[in-house]
Amino acid sequence: MHSIRKDLIPWEGKLVEVKRDFWIKRVKDVEAIKQWLNADVLLQRDGKYYFCETIQEAEVIEEFTNEELNSLKAKLDVPNEESDSSKTNLDVPNE
């Protein structure tokens, strides 16, 4: 199985994802690469450019009370976690 590796760097109070890195001496047009990679942050270290994209903070769209959540679950016929019969309690012997 292959995994996707994402390099994240804390930068100025935010997280940025490294899209690609290139040796500085090989880069002819920084702006073109930033546009190609959709990078909004360019970092430089040890002779390399790091083209990065800022990780956006999650935004709360709407908050619900427990009562509202239960009402929505009932309307959508979502089983309660407490009464979910598909879960099984396993007896584990004491060691």
Q: What are residue 51's DSSP bridge partners?
A: 20, 42
Phi and psi torsions of 68, nearest 5°:
-65, -40
Q: pTM to 2 decimals?
A: 0.57
Place of tokens 């040890």: 46
**Strand pairing class (14-23; 7-11):** antiparallel
pLDDT in tens, 65-91: 888 888 888 888 877 665 545 545 555
Please state, in angstroms and rounded to a whole number, the distance separating the CA atoms of residues 71 and 69.
Answer: 5
pLDDT in tens, 2-57: 556 678 888 898 899 999 999 999 999 999 999 999 999 999 999 999 999 999 88
> How crowded is the C-beta side of 59, counted as CA atoms within 13 Å?
3
Place of tokens 């935010």: 14
Q: Which two tokens stand for residue 2?
A: 């292959």
Strand order in the sheet with 7-11: 7-11, 14-23, 48-54, 41-45
